[in-house]
Amino acid sequence: MPLVKIDVIRDAWSPSELTKLADVIQQVMQTHFNAPARDRYQIITQHEDYELVCEDSGLGFTRTKKLVIIQILQQGRSAAQKQQVFKELSEKLQQNCSVSGQDLIISCAENTHADWSFGMGIAQFMTGEL
C-alpha cells in the first residue's frame, strides 16, 4: 500500500500528462511492489518554479521545468525491490512521459501497519480489516 507523493512545477504539465504520469507510476507500484489494482494512493502537488530547489548534488545533472520528485511511503520492500522500482520508474517515465532521467528524483521511506488509517479513524491493518 504505497502512498506516492508527486511534486512537479506548475504549468510544465497538462492535466492529461499528469494523469499519464500518475498512471505509469501506479503500474510500476503494481509490478514491483505488488500493489493491488485498487490500492492507489497518489498526491500530485504543483509548485511555482521557485518553490522547488533541486540541485545536482555534484552529479552534473541539468534540471528543467519538467522536474518530477516522487516520494514513496511504503513498508516491507527490500533494497533490491526499491532499486528495481527506481530503475523501472526512470525507464517507463522516459518512454511514456518524456521525463529525462536527470529530471527524476525518487525517495522511498518506510512505516509500519500501525501508521495507517484508511478512514473512520481506524487502523485497518491492526484490526485485521486489511
Cβ within 8 Å of residue 109, ≥6 positions away: 71, 72, 73, 74
Whether 2 is catalytic: yes
Active-site option among 1, 2, 13, 24? 2
Are 94 and 55 spatial neighbours (Cβ–Cβ below 8 Å)?
A: no
CA distance 20 to 117: 27
- CA distances 97 to 34, 105, 118, Å, are 22, 15, 30
| Active site positions, annotated | 2
